Structure 1
């Protein structure tokens, strides 16, 4: 969601956000010329954005307990000094101060009014509001939502509005102040701890805060009479009758006076579809046994996927079958509860995941298409293929279906240095390429690494090195590997056609 929110920012805020990011990559001064090259700006524009950043930093320092020291010199460039935590606070300040993001946050927190009234009270033109709403359309579409432009609210299924609201507020405020002004953070935190204690789960601070935000979103919208709709299949996924007898559930119902069963179903399902919750043996047993007894489509599909995956790909080690099953189960349940939503529960846009091999994704999509199982869950082919790719790469190299690229080494380096070089190359590139690193003996290698290039004038791909390799060597190798992989993939595609 970070990238999507960044794209909503005004251009000037995008630029200063990127300048801050660039400055964190420099030890001392960030040269104007480098900013110009990285952001494709002329130097005069860079200077204008730096001056704007100075104004923003001054405003931030006034409003924050910590401060950022910004120094600008025409000949040296830009220097920013502060601890990393404060820089994150500055980034949040830039995002939350942006006109478009402010409107989005107000909509998430249900603080908006009819357009004209909101315009007058916030000194924002109707034109600016309409322009911001236009930006929201593409993002909301990824959650099957839209905007009601008359009263500045979200339109769509309540469960999708809640997951969208949670992801947006979590992304912006997870390292910042509590955004829910009329909801007690301490009270909900006690409820979260009671919940975790009730299910026997030892949560980290991050997990506690995530559930804290989700609780707050649900409570906020419920109190504003934004209720969860009835979903007939939810009764198959949550054993509501047994859970309502648990002491910690009874306590929370009475504590918040939320008696609508749909509300209880929703928050329990959100807990249920998160893999980390299955670290609790009692929680895992309770959920999976109920689904098994009910023979839910989610449970039966997970059994079928596990069986078919081992037949088509590889046998899953016995001690890891539990990981495979529960991870798939959570993904299938998520697709059932939030069909068509491109983001996972942690706010990652699954459509934009690029680090898996296209060949692996293609095999997995074919695998999904060939499953002998009737369910609407399998319509989420993109989401599931990326999820299965994560599981695949947990057990084996994600590049197993990419063309094999052989790197040969021929040098006067001692044996152990050559072995060390092989291991380093595998570690560096194994996640991106299907590599075999060998001693160059047969001449059948695709890329040759040598300390004596004069012996290999006719070889197409030669990398001259000294040991140890530096970043320039690695960059050259990566470029050569990428070219070869693209070439092999194109040849494979032509043969298939």
Structure 2
């Protein structure tokens, strides 16, 4: 990675800011060709920028700015609060400066404070502040940026440093651009595809980019003189790497072409094996098959987890047991490779909403992880945050997970026709029953017979008859078709109710 990576980052940020301004000024649907003409960039680049903006808005986390994309209509930016728009612009700019500093330190040989300040046109005090912010962000990963004789560098375990860099780079580009000028992308991808084909590992285009980014980061760090060491707990997986090498001669290929050591190639292979999309039809694999995998700690972890799962939830069919393994095994390898994981291997922030939506289940899963560690003494189970979130997501494929959370009884009564009222009920279910444990009644007599009381009243009428129930239930006056504001108000209340229920259990 060369200096042009920083230039590219600056250009992307400037284009995104310009794109935001254009969409705000026009306040209408705009197609890619129109935006490309206004930005003086190809339509394909516009689509990349819009995808990046969508991710930025997700990270920003405000419901006051919505970017909608519809096939045939284009893109539309809706801004409900101008102040949030200003804050979002600042978020983009500040994030850009932060990324610049990280990338400059990662890709240059110990830049000084003065160099960082001059190269990025910001004050030295801002550089220090941003480095402090970065260190706060990555401290859980036991990595930090330090100054050695006025030269900045990353400090920490090398595997963790690469984990952080891979997270940041993929989070920024997600394969939309290849920014590693010292590596021939086409040739590298050909080598990787040939290796995967030889050992019968299916690989899709985006996964190819993911492992390509991982390789490029490993190559860059190795070229700078930062060697990777093989941890003792990784040795249980080495026979898989040796088998892959026996089939592909990958150690020699990477040594001759890229100057990488055997240890570097082993680490890269372990990163590949932690990709969940590779685990399909294991019986067809020549190396990454059930017979070989069952000799690894990750397999032992998956097997023990499956036993625990079936003790609580009942036996799974053979097909579902295999699916359970396919989902959990790569997670366990990833948890064995790195520590204190906050992001997934693809650079996504872990499912941060589990505390909000599934507080009871998450508490149970964390207890399960403590028990699994005590029973097996496998260090991978210490990655509680990462695995707890992963387990909840995996469990949700096999059964509804909301059943373990507080039930919200909702009474719906409207002045609409029966058909329109049913449509409203359907909309309520569609928006809330995936993440909240809700039970909906439309007849008060039936509700009182089965439940006695309820938590929420939703109505299209401000009827005075509801007043006597407001001491026991939250009342929402909504539109015949729920608006975004209606949905947000109800969602906020349900979240608050879950939090209060959790606090009550803790007292």
Paired position in structure 1 for 2:246: 245
Aligned to 1:374: 377
Aligned residue for 1:153, secondary structure, equals strand
Contact 1:356 1:389 in 2 (8 A): no
| Normalised TM-score (structure 1) | 0.75
- Residues 244-274 of structure 1: CA deviation (Å, up to 9, x unaligned): 2213636733552546221121111101111
Aligned to 2:218: 218
Q: CA distance change for structure 1 residues 257 and 476 in 2, over 3 Å: closer, same or farther?
A: closer
Aligned pairs, number: 439
- Aligned residue for 2:365? 364
SS in 2 for 1:207: helix
* Paired residues of 2:199 and 2:247 also in contact (CA < 8 A): no
Distance 1:134 1:279, change over 3 A: same
1:286 matched to 2:291? The reply is no
Q: How does 1:414-493 map onto structure 2 within 5 Å?
A: 417-440=420-443, 441-442=445-446, 443=448, 444=452, 445-450=454-459, 453-460=463-470, 461-464=474-477, 467-493=480-506
- Name the counterpart of 2:270: 269
Report the Cα offset of residue 400 of structure 1: 1.6
Match of 2:388 in 1: 385
* Structure 1: gaps (5+ residues): 1-8, 31-59, 69-81
Measured after TM superposition, the shift of residue 232 of structure 1 is 2.7
Partner of 1:53: none
463-472 vs 200-209, which moves further = 463-472
Change (3 A) 1:392 1:284: farther
SS in 1 for 2:145: strand
**Preserved CA contact (<8 Å) 1:277 1:284:** no
- 8 Å contact kept, 1:409–1:439: yes
Task: Assess, with a 3 A threshold, how the Cα gap between structure 1 residues 116 and 418 changes in structure 2: closer, same or farther.
Answer: closer
The structural deviation recorded for 1:236 is 1.3
> SS where residue 440 of structure 2 aligns?
strand
Matched, 1:324 2:291: no
CA distance in 2, matches of 1:284, 1:417: 57
- State the distance in 1 between where 2:500 and 2:53 align: 44
Q: Is the 8 A contact 1:95 1:101 kept in 2?
A: no
Provide the C-alpha distance between the structure 1 equivalents of 2:386 and 2:181, rounded to a whole number of angstroms: 35
Equivalent-residue separation in structure 2 for 1:352 and 1:479 (angstroms): 16
Cα gap change, 1:413 to 1:381, in 2 (>3 Å): same
Q: Residues 268-325 of structure 1: CA distance to partner in whole angstroms, max 9, x if unpaired?
A: 1101111111125344962542232x3x332222211110122124543443222222
1:341 alignment partner, SS class: coil
- Between the aligned partners of 2:460 and 2:117, the Cα distance in structure 1 is 68
Kept after mapping to 2: 8 A contact 1:365/1:385: yes
Distance in 1, matches of 2:289 and 2:155, equals: 32
Q: TM-score, normalised by structure 2?
A: 0.74
| Structure 2 spans left out of the alignment, 5+ residues | 1-8, 30-35, 57-88
Q: 1:349, CA displacement in angstroms?
A: 3.1
Matches within 5 A, 1:198-217: 198-217=198-217
Structure 1: distance between partners of 2:121 and 2:411: 66
Aligned mates of 1:291, 1:476 — CA distance in 2:
48
Query: Aligned-residue CA RMSD in angstroms?
Result: 4.0
- Cα gap change, 1:121/1:267 in structure 2, threshold over 3 Å: closer, same or farther? same
Mapped partners of 2:142, 2:380: distance in 1: 16
Answer with 333-342 or 457-466: which moved more.
457-466
Cross-structure match for 1:337: 337
Q: Distance in 2 between matches of 1:124 and 1:208?
A: 36
